[in-house]
Amino acid sequence: MKNNDRRCFLKTSALTTAASFTAPAFLRGQDLNSRIRIAVVGMGGRANAHARSLIELEQEGKANIEFAGICDCDRSKLDAASRAWKEKAGHAITTYDDMRRVLDDDAIDAVTFATPNHWHSLGVIWACQAGKDSYVEKPGSHNISEGRKMVQAARQYDRIVQHGTQCRSSENIIEGIRKLHEGIIGDVYFARGIAYKIRGDLGKHAPRPVPNGLDWDAWCGPAKLAEYSNFQHRRWHWLWNFGNGEIGNQGVHQMDILRWGLKLDSHPSSVSSVGTNYMQQKVHNSSAETPGLLSTTMKWPNGQLIEFEVRDWYTNAEAGFRDKYPFVQKDFPVGAIFLGSEGTMIIPDYSSYYTFLGQDRKEGPSASVPGSPISDTPHFRNWIHALHSRNHGELSAEIEEGHKSSALCHLANIAYRVDRTVQFDNPTETFHNDDDANALLARPPRSPYVVPEQV
């Protein structure tokens, strides 16, 4: 496909099949000795982690990569990032004000997406169609339908797509999950996840003119075009149009660990969620839409059960051993808790696990890093290794794993929004006889940012 044709294709998101699309022939990632040139899309907070890891790996000299480009539809963010990362990388970095220009540039081999949630799936789909590998922030999708299409695109175009649940590349957590599977706490009969973060007053929607240099239409992209305000632009996590609430923001990490630990490769068949946005709407008078308090129960056909709870205000740590290990959950309590016939396991952060055995909770095997540092570099190193090997099976968090974990967060939100227990069908990824719930599996298309029916 010629460059001009591909540019037109990307702008219109036309339906594409394998017969009508030819991936670029250059694909440097297929040559084990080639230098892979990577661009980061979206200069928000998570882009800093992406850029730091890429620079670290580039300067380390073993990954054979180049941090080559950055992209944002906000000129002020783009200019600031260009100055900062050029100095830290020690070489020029190409800037783009539209991700479609990144995808149209044959000099770029792979893309990382640090955009808001509503852009994740379409960005990955477009990258796959343009013959580029990608790394996408969590949750990989804004909704279940787009998540499945993202997986289909990765398979259709044989792309290497890593999902940003970096606990999958943590040596200590890998060790903990292995011991869990080996039976360190016996038969696991229950698992629970928590995401407790004090959010404070998130603010109100107050319409104002779009700032100079920001392409607001492109920022909204596949979401409904909203009236601009600082709240819409900065607090998008808490708006259904752009985000998925705390369960999709933080909770997807713990959901992923629960699913990993329990070897859950299918979706739950039954989901119940109850919640409230009491603190934001009643106390702070905020415009936030997603629930600050959410309690979810999920059941699988084999009888496996998990619970997940989100809280947004003062709370206990729940794990029950903060006094002895004061660095754990110091700033905010998050974690995955497994209960078994011989004891319990707690994974309270991104780099630790602890076991407690028997009725007296005798301390068992554990591994931790004081301070619970969050490092993205091992996860990027794993992704880059797979870029060279061209084996998506070597990824720690391959995109299908990301889709399944993200879908748990979406299912919890859907059950909350329809205010009843929902029954989910695994093969079709739809709800049984529930038009209201099925309507939340996708969103209305908005041209030209249309998620294709066929990827």
Query: For 91-134, what is each residue's pLDDT tens digit?
Result: 999 999 999 999 999 999 999 999 999 999 999 999 999 999 99
Tens digits of residue pLDDT in 239-274: 999 999 999 999 999 999 999 999 999 999 999 999
Q: Is the pLDDT of residue 9 over 80?
A: no
Q: Is the pLDDT of residue 147 over 60?
A: yes
Q: Give pLDDT, residue 409.
A: 98
Q: Give pLDDT, residue 415.
A: 98
Query: Measured between alpha carbons, how far is 180 from 186 in angstroms, rounded to an integer?
Result: 8
DSSP labels for 228-254? --HHHHH-GGGSTTT--HHHHHTHHHH
- Mean pLDDT value across residues 359-384: 88
Question: pLDDT grade, residue 328 (50/70/90)?
Answer: very low
Most distant CA pair in the chain, distance: 69
Instruction: Tell me the CATH number of domain 3-167+377-399, given options 3.90.209.20, 3.30.1490.20, 3.40.50.720, 3.40.640.10.
Output: 3.40.50.720
**Following CA atoms 114, 391, 38, 7 in sequence, which dihedral angle do they give, to the nearest 10 degrees?**
-80
Please state which of the ranges 27-41, 155-169, 180-194 shows the lowest mean pLDDT.
27-41
What is the phi-psi region of residue 72: left when phi exceeds 0, alpha when psi lies from -120 to 50, beta otherwise? beta
Pairing mode, if any, of strands 270-276 and 422-425?
antiparallel
- Mean pLDDT value across residues 425-451: 97
Q: Three-state SS for 206? A: coil
- Mean pLDDT value across residues 60-81: 97
Query: Measured between alpha carbons, how far is 316 from 322 in angstroms, rounded to an integer?
Result: 10
Q: List the CATH code of the domain at 171-201+240-372+407-427.
A: 3.30.360.10
Q: Where are the domains of the chain?
A: 3-167+377-399, 171-201+240-372+407-427
Q: Give pLDDT, residue 17.
A: 30
More confident residue, 285 or 31: 285
Tens digits of residue pLDDT in 396-407: 999 999 999 999
Average pLDDT, rounded, for the chain: 91
What percentage of the chain has pLDDT greater than the value 90? 85
Residues 6+ apart with CB under 8 A from 30: 390
Question: pLDDT grade, residue 284 (50/70/90)?
Answer: very high
Question: pLDDT grade, residue 34 (50/70/90)?
Answer: confident
State how far the alpha carbon of 425 is from the alpha carbons of 209, 259, 430, 436, in Å. 44, 18, 6, 15
Query: Measured between alpha carbons, how far is 127 from 60 in angstroms, rounded to an integer?
Result: 27
- Amino acid identity for residue 415 in this structure: A
Residues 6+ apart with CB under 8 A from 448: 11, 12, 13
Q: Does this chain's domain 3-167+377-399 share its CATH topology with 171-201+240-372+407-427?
A: no
